[in-house]
Every structure is written in C-alpha cells, then in structure tokens.
Amino acid sequence: MTNPEDECYMEIDINIYEDVSPYMERNRLWQKNVPSWIPKALKYQDHIPNLYCILAHAVEEFPNVCAIYDYDRDVKYTYREEKYITDKLATALHQLGVRKGDGVAIFTGNCPEYYFTLFAVMRIGAILIPINPLLKKKEVAHIISNAGIVKAIVVHQRQLGVVKRVIKQHPIEHIIVIERDKESEETYDFQQLVDSAEPNPPKAKMNIKEDIAFLMYTGGTTGLPKGVMVTHFNMLANVAQTSMRLYHIDKALSIRGKWSNLAVLPLCHIYGTLMALNTTLGGYMNIVVTFNPENILKIIDKYKVQVFSGIPTMFVFIANHPDFKKYDLTSLELVTSAAAALAPSIAKKWEEAGVKVVQGYGLTECSPATHLQPLDWLKTVEESIGIPIPDTDAKIVDPTDPTKELEIGEAGELLIRGPQVMKGYWKNPEATARVLLEDGWLRTGDIAKMDENGYFYIVGRSKEMIKYKGYRILPFEVEKTLYEHPAVLECAVIGVPRDDIGENIKAFIKLRPEYKGKITEQEIIDWAKEEMAGYKWPRIVEFVETIPKTAVGKVFRRQLRDKELKKLKEKEK
C-alpha cells in the first residue's frame, strides 16, 4: 500500500487557469464548445517520479478490485496482486543489472505479463521498447540494432525463435521467456524470475520531463520504423488530458473501480499503452483476450463490458461477423475508434446494434491522443475526430508552407502542440527537425480540415494523396463510399502512375464470401460511377483475397503501390 508521503503516490492536481492553456493560442474556435466546468489547462505535479505511480495510486484506491482477467488462461489478478508481482519483477530486473536509461524490450501479444513488465520497467527508470509480436526477424533486428540499449528482452515462447535468430547478430544480455516450454541456460523463465525476487525494488531518481519512458517504433508505412522518444511527462500528461475530456466529472468519478475494459487493442501500440495506463488509473478490470470477433461478441455480452477501443479493421471484422446482431452489446458505453478513419457505413452497423462509436485521433509522436469526441457534452458529428483535448492546440496549414494557416474548411496539413508531443526521434536529429517546428509545433503529415464549429476531420495522409487530372484525391474519400456496396468486405485505394493523367485511381476489394463469383470488377466500377463524383470513382478494380495490413492493423497502401510499380516496370521491359 502507499500513502501521500510515499514518493510514488500520485495525485493529478487540476487547475483552471484564468485564461487559456500555455500551449494554446487564445480564442481558438472549438473552445466555444467546451463547458465552463472543463479545465482549459491542467497543472501537472513535477514531483511525481515516474509512470509507476499510476499503479501505486490504483492500489491505494482499489486494492481488491480485479485489475486483469486473462480470458484465454482464465486467470485473474487484483490490483494488490498486480503491484506485488510488478515490484518483484522490478527487483529481479535490477538484480540482472538493468539500470535507469537501459532498454527493456518486450516482444509478446497482450497478456498479464505485459502489464507487469510495463510498470516494473517504469519503476526502476528503464526504457520500455515494445515490439509488435507480428514482426519478423528483419524488423525486430532493426529495432534492437537501432535502439542500441537493449539490456533485456521479455519474450513469449511463441516469439522466442525470432529472438534467437536476431541475437546471433545483435546480442542481448538477458532473455526472459513467458510460458517457457523447457529449461535453458541461455534464458530465464518469467515466473521463476519473479518468484526468486523480493517486492522491494530500488527507487530511481527521475526527471519526468526529460527521462524517456518508452521508445515506440512507428509502423514504418513510409520506410524503416523510427524510434519515438516518449517521456514520462508526455504520457502522464496524455493520461490526464484524455481522462478530463470524455464525461461530466460526476460520472467520471462514479465509474472509478467499477467498469471493465476489453483489452484487445495491442499493448505494443502507443494507443494500447495509453489505454493500459488510463484504465489502471480508473481502477477498471482489463479483460485480456486474443482478438477473435466471435469471442469479442461473447465477452461483451457475458461480462457486460463498458469500454472497447480499437482500430477500424477491428470494427469492420466484428460488424461483418454473421452473429453480430445475435449478441447484446448495449452495455458498451465508451467505444472509440482511432488510428485511421472509420467508414460511416461501418459506424452505422454498430449504431443499429445500440452502440455509439466515437472517433478520436492521435499519433505515436503525441503519446498518442490529441482529439476526441466526448460522449455526454458535445454533439457527435459523423466522420469528425472531435475537438482537441485540454492543453492541445491544433491548426491546419499549407503543406508546402507550414507557417501559413489556412481558412476554415480548407484541407491542409494538421499541426499539433501540447505537453504530449514527443521529445524527438531516437538518434535521428534530421528527422526530428523535419517534424518538430519552432514553438513546439509538430507536423503530423496528415491532411485535415476544421469546420465553422471547430470540429476537425482527417481526410488522409499527404504521402498517399492521389493526383488525377489535376485533382487531389485522398484514398479514404473513395474507400468510405465503396464500403456502402453490399459486396465489399474490405477495400483499399491507391494511385497508379500514368503519364497522361498523373495517376489512375485503383481499388483493391476483398469480397464478402456470398458475392464471390457473382459480381465482376466492372459492375463495381459502374456502381461507383453513379455514387461518386466524376473525378473520384475508381477506374480500375481488382478483387483480392486479402488487404495487406501493417503490424498495427492499418491498411498498408505503400505495399500495394510498390507491387503496382513493379508491374509497370516489368511491362516496360
């Protein structure tokens, strides 16, 4: 247990400033939508040593509440038990020589051990380096090599083979295996390591504004992944910002220690990490389960889950499950889609099931959240990502001249400023300089617009923009309409180079099983002509068995484009 005198006790002090946030310009348009009881700025306690304090605070308030329910293994842990195991793991890591600033990689899917490792690493001041369990040797080797500070790696037995191949070129001192299937002098068994240690880890002296908590490697859709340096303060600020923006304060307080969260979002992703910290601070039960649409539906119905966050791909697969309408999903109160735009037709299917899906926006470089649609005090606008969260400024600028702010309704590059903006890219000052501008503004690379009410809309990535006969078209503009066709299960749109018109618009479509062999590509094109503007409908349609995704589940348009470019080169030979 902790107490206010303990240096790991955490209490976020909220202060309503006389004017506006120090991160924001005055009189931003969206502020007219914010009720007077929502703080315009938050005061963060500099004396908080590190993010471990979130767990320490939860144990103080909710010691006997179930913190983690591992659905696949049918194992539960209370907050008291989570802290006890975390402290023992922190001690064990320190005994292995892990010190402040050392890297601890974690290479596993969602499991209780991930939560234990997350808070143990924070406790001793080391840096957590999450690695997506879907990555292969080449990507893992790049992360380990680029980081250059990995002292230990926590890996599930399922991913151990990849690690063994990687360490031949990039040695790691300590390999800790979850559910190890056989003893080995080269590895430690996770449970045995925890059992051997005492729950009394040393206290690391920290500077939360400077010390790195996470080295989060980006998805790499436009090249090799870059390490994003997220400080303890960056993430602490984002936890506070998102906590203050969803509900009226009375409701926010009433649900603490009572709600459950379906923890399907990959914890290795920055969004999953934020949810892990937010739900811990709120004393929620995190139900950890491998993603499977039918299991998700069963769990929501059986356990009356209130919180579910995911990426659009998840919402598509669940909504298209044949038994989607057979389950009661009405217990869900906070359902958020982020990482990419959610097609309105998919959102409508959820709404017909009694579930309101709100959209948010963020990126790894912002720890990650910057915009949200609150549930009970802001009118939900279809396709909008909502308005900026407290202490967050945003503006739309000319992509060729980021000093030029655009008019209301004009599409341009979205810039963000706030306490959640990263420290920079790891060992990459050139890339950092390209995106971090003067006065703390971050270039997101996303094309967005803001309407007359201060609502923001993401319309695509600047690098994915299709240039057709002088028009500039973003893939999602085409994809969202294609999803309205009853035969379309999944789709992705790219531009294919063509000398006379710039780029042709091509759609890759995965059909629903019942439509295979019963509809042609030309029929889709003819339908699209009637539904879309003359310059938007796809000129080429190709039916495919799968739509490629990045390791975090986003549509991998670059892979599709690279294949098309390869085809063009082969034709020219």
> What is the structure's pLDDT at 35?
82
> What is the structure's pLDDT at 56?
95
- Return d(Cα 274, Cα 276) in angstroms, integer: 5
Q: Tokens standing for 218?
A: 């980006």
| Residue-level pLDDT, tens digit, the chain, 573 residues | 444 445 554 454 444 444 567 898 888 999 888 887 777 778 776 667 899 999 999 999 999 999 999 999 999 999 999 999 999 999 999 999 999 999 999 999 999 999 999 999 999 999 999 998 988 898 899 999 999 999 999 999 999 999 999 999 999 999 999 999 998 889 999 999 999 999 999 988 899 999 999 999 986 544 578 999 999 999 999 998 888 766 666 777 789 999 999 999 999 999 999 999 999 999 999 999 999 999 999 999 999 999 999 988 899 889 999 999 999 999 999 999 877 778 888 899 999 999 999 888 999 999 999 999 877 778 888 789 999 998 999 999 999 999 999 999 999 999 999 999 999 999 999 999 999 998 899 999 888 999 999 999 988 776 777 878 767 687 888 998 999 999 999 999 999 988 777 789 999 999 999 999 999 999 999 999 999 888 889 999 999 999 998 877 788 888 998 898 888 888 776
> What is the structure's pLDDT at 246?
61
Going by the DSSP 8-state scheme, the letter that residue 257 receives in this structure is T
- Return d(Cα 92, Cα 345) in angstroms, integer: 50
Q: Tokens standing for 135?
A: 């990555």
Residue 6 near residue 25, CB atoms below 8 Å: no
> What is the structure's pLDDT at 14?
42
> What is the structure's pLDDT at 462?
65
- Return d(Cα 519, Cα 522) in angstroms, integer: 8
Question: The whole model's pTM is what?
Answer: 0.84
Burial (CB < 10 A; 0-12, 13-18, 19+), residue 380, is middle
Residue 442, helix vs strand vs coil: strand
**Domain 29-450 matches domain 472-572 at the CATH topology level:** no
- Pick from 375, 391, 389, 399: nearest CA to 449: 399
Residue 258, helix vs strand vs coil: coil
Question: At residue 550, what are phi and psi to the nearest 5 degrees?
Answer: -75, 175
Into which CATH architecture does domain 472-572 fall? 2-Layer Sandwich (3.30)
**What residue segments make up the domains of the chain, in order of their start?**
29-450, 472-572
Burial (CB < 10 A; 0-12, 13-18, 19+), residue 68, is buried
- Pick from 255, 223, 262: nearest CA to 428: 223
CA torsion through residues 63, 65, 66, 67, sign:
negative
Q: What is the CATH number of domain 29-450?
A: 3.40.50.12780
> What is the structure's pLDDT at 254?
86
Going by the DSSP 8-state scheme, the letter that residue 182 receives in this structure is S
> What is the structure's pLDDT at 221?
47
